[in-house]
Structure 1
Amino acid sequence: MFKNLTIYRVGASWQPSRQEVEEALAKGQFQPCGATEPLSLGWVPPRGIEHGPLVEVIDGHLHLKLQVESRVLPGSVVKERVDEIAAQIEEQTGRKPGKKALKDLKEQATQELLPLCFKKRSSIRIWIAPEQRLLMIDASSPARCEEVVSLLIKTLEGLTLHLIQSAEAPATCMAAWLMDGVAPEGFTIDRECELKSEDEMKSVVRYARHALDIDEVRQHLEAGKRPTRLAMSYKDRVSFLLTDTLQIKKISFLDLVFEGHDKPEKDEQFDADATIAAGELGELIPALIEGLGGEHDFLGSAPSGFVADSQLVAPDKTVLDLDQTPAAVTAAVAAAAAAAGPDDKAPWD
């Protein structure tokens, strides 16, 4: 069901109900691209059944599906059409179109060609575990994940998300595991990794289907290269590729997961896949974060007898929501500090 996961922490104040989520998604159901629309996205039934519910709840976990449709229009085709129109204008007027005119011609050519383009569809699965306050997006591109997060926050009232970060950098941990040949408890190092240098050369070394407990790998690490990808397995049940940005890619459930289970009927396949994914990955994710030193605490440790809350009051009395993304929190703190003036001290100084 899932091939890639980017993991987010859900704000404590958001308590979703199936009906509320269903009603919110219904306002943004998928519609195919119009004749001159380059992109269209919207919500579709996760089971793939026409007119089915937009939210599936299985064992308390919510499953959503976002459909993306785009028109394939290569830039070379647009340029060819622009050159053709520009040549016609030069022939008729005796003058070449200027920069502004060429920009307008590019827009004209795009509008002409879009209705003739092929359409390309893809889908993105979203998995929400309310009790664990986790939201996972099955997308390999960070940019696409950001688009999905923006759409979710816009669609689901009260939802706040921030990208989970580990206390220790994944690259640092992966380097230590490779140097020592020892992974965290329950994990094993498999036979694929990528090492990159941090100097101006940006050298890259890749190993595929290759033993990694060798001196050559350790020499690359000692020379300053850092792991950006490392293949691992968890309890011989799930194999995956861990990246230096804490993305989980190339997820595959191993034979041990299916032992003792009959092949489900076609109409039961979705439920079976969702149950397996939630059970196996729901155990793997916290174990992996623990192996990376635990989750980074953006709020910091509260003093004895106190509990860290999800808000902070700036000197100008602005209330900062700490359930936002880390970048948003940083920007809000900086703005509040600037507004406070040079002579005002923040209460945490």
Structure 2
Amino acid sequence: MHFKNAIFYRLSKPFTPEFNQLGALMADHAFTPCSGQQLSSYGWISPHPAHSFMVFESNGALLITAQRESKLLPASSINRLLTERVAKIKSTEDRTVGRKEKMQLKDEIVIDLLPRALSKFDTTQALIIPNENLIIVDASGFTAAEELLSLLRQTVGSLSIVSPEVINSTSTVMGSWLIADQSESFALGADCSMQDNEQGKAVFKGVDLLSEHVIGHVNDGYQVITIGVCWDSNYFMSLNNDLRISKIKATDELSEAISNDNDDPLVRLDTDTARLSLEFQRLWQDLTTAFGGESKAATQTA
């Protein structure tokens, strides 16, 4: 996997745009750099510099990438300039600057600084697997994931997406793994975090998760929030109780086995995307099975 994170979404209706049609629609919402007075800009870019199309298809899966440019305007700099302007008005005009005027001055300062501001660029990738009605977003949090989905909805005109749910409590199941060390697909790692409403948060790093000290927290009522695991003996990852997956990393053995020395970057991308699609399908199946199966209830995204 070349995704570092994974947030799974369900398509409640078939994803209808075909490859060529989707690429054309995405071109209408392509990323453009910030203009002189823009604080940020967001749009689609190609999944790979060597690929000119906005979407990359492999084995029926569609890889897409969104990019955000954000102008960096440190609040400390803005506030310093605002203080200087307010002080100058007080000294030259001998009057108090009100709240409304301060806001106007602040806006003027932002406008003055924008053309000289540095830019920060962030990209978010997603994999659409139409045959499985799945969308997987490589984002550490829901805000970035749903920003991409919102852009995708604008792009295709209509998109029905839900956040999938599972039957059993994720925190309870992950806690049972610590007590019984029983999970068919996930081997325990060495990191874990728990939360108790009264006693606060407990974080364990690089420890034996089957130790009496860790298990004692579960018996005392702590709920598991995140737990480090190894899936399929090939990938280390952190499972979160909201079904997010983070810190995905292949084992050294797998990295060596799947290393691709092909000189053509698009051939490598094709191979990696096809593998990514198949592995995510298996991972989602194992994940939902571990938590009692996928529930029919789901939360509609905005």
Match of 2:248 in 1: 251
Task: Give the Å deviation of 1:249.
Answer: 0.5
Provide the rounded CA distance (Å) in 1 between the counterparts of 2:151 and 2:252.
36
Which structure: greater strand fraction? Answer: 2
Match of 2:19 in 1: 18
8 Å contact kept, 2:124–2:144: no
Task: Give the Å deviation of 1:244.
Answer: 1.4
CA separation of 1:34 and 1:262: change in aligned 2, threshold 3 A: closer
Tell me, what secondary structure is at the counterpart of 1:296? strand
Question: Deviations 1:244-286 (Å, cap 9, x if unpaired)?
Answer: 1110101112244356556331323212221222222221111
Q: Does 1:326 find its partner at 2:291? A: no
Provide the rounded CA distance (Å) in 1 between the counterparts of 2:210 and 2:277.
32
Match of 1:272 in 2: 271
Task: Give the Å deviation of 1:57.
Answer: 0.6
Match of 1:59 in 2: 59
Tell me, what secondary structure is at the counterpart of 1:297? strand
Provide the rounded CA distance (Å) in 2 between the counterparts of 1:288 and 1:243.
11
Task: Give the Å deviation of 1:173.
Answer: 1.4
Task: Give the Å deviation of 1:157.
Answer: 2.4
The one-letter code sitting in structure 2 at the alignment partner of 1:289 is: T
Find runs of 4+ consecutive structure 1 residues off by over 3 angstroms.
255-262, 325-328
Question: Deviations 1:204-243 (Å, cap 9, x if unpaired)?
Answer: 2212221100111111112222111101111201221001
Q: 2:230 aligns with which of 233, 255, 268?
A: 233
Match of 2:130 in 1: 130
8 Å contact kept, 1:30–1:43: yes
Match of 2:9 in 1: 8
8 Å contact kept, 1:198–1:226: no
8 Å contact kept, 1:14–1:158: no
Provide the rounded CA distance (Å) in 2 between the counterparts of 1:263 and 1:158.
38
Provide the rounded CA distance (Å) in 1 between the counterparts of 2:144 and 2:257.
38
Gaps of 5+ in 2: none
Match of 1:150 in 2: 150
8 Å contact kept, 1:82–1:106: yes
Structure 1, 9-18 or 252-261: larger mean CA deviation:
252-261
Match of 1:169 in 2: 169
Match of 2:197 in 1: 198
The one-letter code sitting in structure 2 at the alignment partner of 1:38 is: L
Q: Does 1:97 find its partner at 2:97? A: yes
TM-score (norm 1): 0.81
Provide the rounded CA distance (Å) in 2 between the counterparts of 1:253 and 1:169.
27
Match of 1:86 in 2: 86
Name the Cα RMSD after superposition.
1.8
Provide the rounded CA distance (Å) in 2 between the counterparts of 1:250 and 1:293.
24
8 Å contact kept, 1:68–1:121: yes
From the CA coordinates, give the structure whose radius of gyration is larger: 1
Task: Give the Å deviation of 1:327.
Answer: 6.5
Question: Deviations 1:282-327 (Å, cap 9, x if unpaired)?
Answer: 211111111111112128xxxxxxxxxxxxxxxxxxxxxxxxx437
Tell me, what secondary structure is at the counterpart of 2:131? coil
Structure 1, 277-286 or 134-143: larger mean CA deviation:
277-286
Tell me, what secondary structure is at the counterpart of 2:108? helix
Larger RCO of the pair (alpha carbons < 8 Å, separation 6+):
2
8 Å contact kept, 2:165–2:294: yes
Structure 1, 255-264 or 130-139: larger mean CA deviation:
255-264
Tell me, what secondary structure is at the counterpart of 1:228? strand
The one-letter code sitting in structure 2 at the alignment partner of 1:48 is: P
Provide the rounded CA distance (Å) in 1 between the counterparts of 2:33 and 2:169.
41
Question: Percent of aligned positions with the same letter in both sequences?
Answer: 26
Q: Where does 1:32-43 land on structure 2 (aligned, <5 Å)?
A: 32-43=33-44
Match of 1:347 in 2: none
Structure 1, 8-17 or 64-73: larger mean CA deviation:
8-17
8 Å contact kept, 2:61–2:127: yes
Tell me, what secondary structure is at the counterpart of 2:268? helix
Tell me, what secondary structure is at the counterpart of 2:103? helix
8 Å contact kept, 1:16–1:130: no
Provide the rounded CA distance (Å) in 1 between the counterparts of 2:259 and 2:227.
32
Task: Give the Å deviation of 1:128.
Answer: 0.3
8 Å contact kept, 2:193–2:203: yes
CA separation of 1:166 and 1:266: change in aligned 2, threshold 3 A: farther
TM-score (norm 2): 0.93
Aligned residues: 299
Provide the rounded CA distance (Å) in 2 between the counterparts of 1:276 and 1:211.
32
Provide the rounded CA distance (Å) in 1 between the counterparts of 2:175 and 2:259.
40
